[in-house]
A and B are shown apart, each in its own frame.
Chain A
Amino acid sequence: MSLLDKRILIVTGKGGTGKTTVAAALGLWAARSGRKTLIVECNGTQHVAPLFRQPAKGYTPTILHPNLSSMTITAEEAIEDYVIKQIKVRKLYQLVFRNRVMGPFMDAVPGLHDAVHLGKVFDLSEDDMTDGKPTWDLVIVDAPATGHGLHMLAAPQSLMELTRAGPVYEGVKLVHDVISNPDKTALVLTSIPEELPVNETLELANHLHEADHEIATVVLNEMIHTELPSAEEWNTHKASLLSHADTPVQQAGQLMERWMSRKARQKDAERRLKTLITAPLISLPLLPDRALSFSELQQLSHLLEGGLAKT
């Protein structure tokens, strides 16, 4: 079963490890395969549309490319959506939510903001068009960073524990069941090849495993590929360079040592992620520090596709 045959893909990882770029590249791949795809950002962030040089339209899906759209969710809009769906009277909603105790009260329910995010994602993935076909074949979530991403995934469970029964319990249970069903939902983790970020990815993977979430793939970003000598060769010769104290020869040796060490760290990161997480690992190159061009994004999406085809 291809990654793209799921209904929901959730991309999460440590901050700064390339979640948004990976979500966009996955989206492009899915769109290319003919699937109507929606990328969903959380908490009002709007970084995806600018990657496609399109204006972001907030809570309304904006078309980025044939078959590909994006939108962002805020908890307030998702709550409004949910409540109006339940009580079917907009006026009543306005009456209630203009009440000054509501804001603080909503804040007092742990996990509510996160749960309504996932609830909206669930709704989007279940949404049908008039001809009965799904509006979106695939919904890709650019989820918050590690710690918060975990909270988000745990939020339905959390609300279920708090409410124990009733309509909300039933509602979040539906969401929970879909989010933790590996046939419908897959998790994509992003990381970078440094020790602490990799530790954090492994920790995240552990937590997800304990909560019965399946990790579909791990994307290791920021890999720098260089032609360097083998470790054996370097180890044979490095002492002879480094012993030339305070000379250009020593500096040259030190620089090579840095790059050898970087390469070793990259290899180590790949090895640890591969052995400790039972999911395919795809390595992507370090990207330039500027807005990616469309063709660069497309290249990334091909690398993802190619990387997963091999596994």
Chain B
Amino acid sequence: MSARIIICCGSGGVGKTTTSAALALSNAINGLRVVVLTIDPAKRLADSLGIEVLGGAPQEIPMADISGSCDAVMLDVEETFEGLIHKFSTSPESAKRILENRYFQFASTRLGGVHEYMAAEKVRELATCGAYDLVVVDTPPSRNALDFLRAPDRVAGLMDGAVMRWMAMPATRSGWRALELGSEAVAKVLGLLVGKETIGEIAQFFDLFRDLWDGFHQRSIEVQTLLASSRTTFLLVSSPAPSARREALYFLDKLSEMKLPFGGFLINRAEAEVVWKPNLQEQLAGIVPTDLASSIVALPSIQNQLAHQHQRSIDALLAAGPSRAKHWVIPDLGRPVNTLDDLVQLGASIPQIEELH
């Protein structure tokens, strides 16, 4: 059976990377074999985990007092894509021809959606390899992450039957493969947009890719089924910042539109209200100078302003979400989260896998 999958999505700057790492660690401490995958090109996860550089191969996060295990992986798009091409090619020669195609070399890392598609493929690979009980996925900031959810669809669309048939037709005099009815116009417009030579290269790629099509298509259906299955949970990471809330609601809409399993909100860095005892000033005055005591006593006015702002924002988020949606509020540690110990401390406010159902 495949591993459980938790996908953390949300806008940038809400602490997704940190939260994913904390979630992975806390479930590992409780005995699960966990791997956390970051598909964010910035090597931020490595920073928070204290690992020098993350590579495409799983690296164990060194931890004492842990009954499970926790690995971290950074997505290597090219490596994953090449792996798939080798896997689905009918012969090593045809794989080689694709890998040498100029358009492929150019597009394999830059094409919108490829990055995300390979991430989805990597999730599948980690979830089904048998080495893990839980895969935690840190998605890229904000709306790009939707491509991650849509990627298999998109690539399938890119390479779907119509394009394949179109590409498979015999070459025309002008040297590039074509063309159905209205094709002269299509040719003209495409030529205008990106040049005929380029179109030829793209066409050649599609042509070579035809052999691999069934494999890719089948695989993208598997990935999609896995992401929509009850083994997978999407958590929306947010912060009390209004912009983060707007983005979270946007995601929520998309998840429900795509019928993907929503597990709840993780709300990061919430500030809590404080109330001082009336005699605090006197108590403090015995310990520190009077002006310092006064500025401490004055703190709640600003602290609570922030705390109330946060509470209103959390309320608004929950009100806009599905009724009885689960949520976890993760307190602000009051300092940057830099160490494993910090991550473990955050883990205390973070759901264990069994709480998600």
* A interface residues, Cβ below 8 angstroms from B: 14-18, 43, 79, 82-83, 86-87, 92-93, 95-97, 99-113, 144-148, 151, 158-159, 161-169, 192, 194-197, 199-200, 203, 224, 226-229, 233-234, 237, 240-241, 244, 248-249, 251-259, 261-262, 265, 288-290
Contact = CB atoms under 8 A, between A and B. Distances in A.
B195 A86 contact: no
Given A16-B241, A83-B193, A252 B296 contact: yes
A144 B2 CA distance: 36
Interface in B19-68: 40-42, 44, 47
Contacts of A241: 284, 287-288, 296
Nearest to A264: B335
A196 B336 contact: yes
B192 A83 contact: yes
Interface of B: 11-14, 17, 40-42, 44, 47, 103, 106-107, 110-113, 140-144, 154, 157-160, 162-163, 166, 180, 182, 185-186, 188-198, 202, 239-244, 247, 274, 276-277, 280, 283-284, 287-289, 291-292, 295-300, 302-303, 306, 309, 312-313, 332, 334-336, 338
Taking each of A16, A109, A159, A161, which has the highest tally of chain B beta carbons within 10 Å of its own beta carbon? A16
Taking each of B47, B198, B288, which has the highest tally of chain A beta carbons within 10 Å of its own beta carbon? B288
Given A145-B141, A249-B283, 15 more contacts: A15-B11, A15-B243, A92-B189, A95-B185, A104-B163, A110-B106, A110-B110, A147-B144, A168-B192, A229-B295, A249-B280, A252-B297, A252-B299, A257-B334, A289-B242
Given A14-B13, A229-B295, A105 B190 contact: yes
Contacts of B188: 87, 92, 96
A86 B313 contact: no
B280 A166 contact: no
Given A17-B13, A147-B41, A197-B13, A159 B284 contact: no
Contact of B194 (A112, A251, A255): A112
Q: Name B's interface SS.
A: helix
Nearest to B18: A196
22 contacts: A15-B13, A82-B193, A83-B193, A96-B182, A96-B185, A96-B189, A99-B180, A105-B190, A145-B12, A196-B13, A196-B44, A199-B47, A234-B292, A248-B277, A249-B287, A252-B280, A255-B303, A259-B299, A259-B303, A261-B335, A265-B336, A289-B242
